[in-house]
């Protein structure tokens, strides 16, 4: 049974068959360096030894690392949603986020996200953005970068939001009634639920895109790594475009 985390901030990390990709030592090291948040791993019905590995990581910080096991594979969107619902119902955190299990975005940037929340009390979402600027160490394969730029352009047109990077797996949210409502029901999209979060957010708050842009902050990451053996395939971009059309038709 999942024990109740008691942190002000909880980061949900969805995992599916991550036995050979999970950077165990990095998690342990980061938890020792950064004391101000907890992790909720969600094992999304893995068929390998992921659950056992997660429990070994938990043993290193049993009061700060928790593991929720789903009985069957539901997909990343539902794994994140279930993690958010569990964290909200058990501990009522002030901030909730989700992070890619491979730590392509290192946990060391978490304090920078919270500096934004502290400096901007009006901001309700801080989204990581993979922007290759001078002085920033962003390593991304060229075809993914350009496909990502094309996709982001269509997202901006579909939901009328000037956003650079919707699919970066590093996001933290201020817990509000709106956020709770967003995660109450399953997402219709499996691949681009990040976009659906934004569409639901604007619809639930009944705000325009210009108003939303004052409440959402994109943070250019100082470091990001395109991890090898990623589960994303080029054909998945076609699925993503199909889901984008569905989101447009549902939330327009």
Mean pLDDT, all residues of the chain: 91
In this structure, are residues 66 and 36 in contact, taking their beta carbons and an 8 Å threshold? no
Has residue 4 got a pLDDT over 60? no
CA distance readout (Å), 233 to 10, 52, 78, 143, 145: 30, 27, 20, 11, 13
Has residue 184 got a pLDDT over 70? yes
Secondary structure percentages of the chain, helix, strand, coil, to 5: 40, 20, 40
Beta-strand pair 125-129/38-44 = unpaired
d(CA 204, CA 178): 7
Q: Tell me, what's the pLDDT at 229?
A: 59
Arch. (CATH architecture) of 1-103: Alpha-Beta Complex (3.90)
Lowest mean pLDDT among 65-74, 139-148, 160-169: 139-148
d(CA 252, CA 249): 6
Has residue 73 got a pLDDT over 80? yes
Query: What secondary structure does DSSP assign to 50-119, as a single string?
Result: HHHHHHHHHHHSTTTEEEEEESS---HHHHHHHHHHHHHHHH--SEEEEE-TT-SS-GGGHHHHHHHHHH
| Better-predicted residue by pLDDT, 98 or 144 | 98
SS (H, E, C) 115-154: HHHHHCCCCCEEEEECCCCCCCEEECCHHHHHHHHHHHHH
Q: Using the 8-state DSSP alphabet, how is residue 191 labeled?
A: S
Burial status of residue 182 (CB atoms within 10 A of its CB: 0-12, 13-18, 19 or more): buried
Has residue 48 got a pLDDT over 90? yes
Has residue 201 got a pLDDT over 90? yes
Residues 6+ apart with CB under 8 A from 214: 122
User: Can you tell me the mean pLDDT for 222-235?
Assistant: 74
d(CA 120, CA 234): 37
Q: Tell me, what's the pLDDT at 234?
A: 63
Other C-beta atoms closer than 10 Å to the C-beta of 191 total 19
Has residue 194 got a pLDDT over 80? yes
User: Can you tell me the mean pLDDT for 60-65?
Assistant: 93
Residues 6+ apart with CB under 8 A from 106: 26, 30, 223
- Per domain, the residue ranges of the chain are 1-103, 105-252
């Amino acid at each position: 049974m999942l024990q109740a985390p008691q942190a002000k901030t909880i980061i949900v990390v969805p995992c599916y068959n991550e036995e050979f990709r999970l950077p165990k030592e990095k998690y342990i090291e980061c938890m020792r360096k950064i004391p101000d948040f907890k992790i909720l791993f969600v094992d999304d019905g893995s068929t390998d030894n992921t659950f056992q590995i997660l429990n070994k990581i938990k043993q290193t910080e049993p009061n700060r690392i928790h593991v929720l096991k789903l009985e069957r594979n539901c997909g990343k969107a539902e794994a994140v949603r279930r993690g958010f619902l569990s964290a909200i119902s058990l501990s009522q955190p002030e901030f909730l986020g989700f992070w890619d299990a491979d730590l392509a975005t290192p946990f060391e940037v978490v304090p920078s996200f919270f500096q934004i929340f502290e400096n901007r009390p009006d901001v309700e979402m801080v989204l990581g953005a993979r922007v290759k600027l001078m002085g920033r160490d962003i390593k991304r394969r060229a075809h993914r970068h350009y496909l990502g730029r094309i996709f982001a352009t269509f997202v901006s047109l579909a939901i009328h939001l000037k956003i650079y990077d919707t699919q970066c797996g590093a996001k933290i949210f201020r817990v509000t009634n709106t956020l709770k409502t967003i995660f109450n029901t399953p997402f219709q999209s499996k691949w681009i639920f990040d976009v659906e979060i934004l569409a639901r957010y604007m619809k639930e708050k009944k705000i325009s895109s210009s108003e939303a842009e004052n409440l959402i902050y994109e943070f250019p990451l100082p470091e990001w790594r395109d991890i090898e053996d990623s589960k994303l395939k080029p054909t998945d971009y076609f699925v993503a475009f199909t889901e984008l059309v569905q989101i447009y038709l549902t939330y327009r």
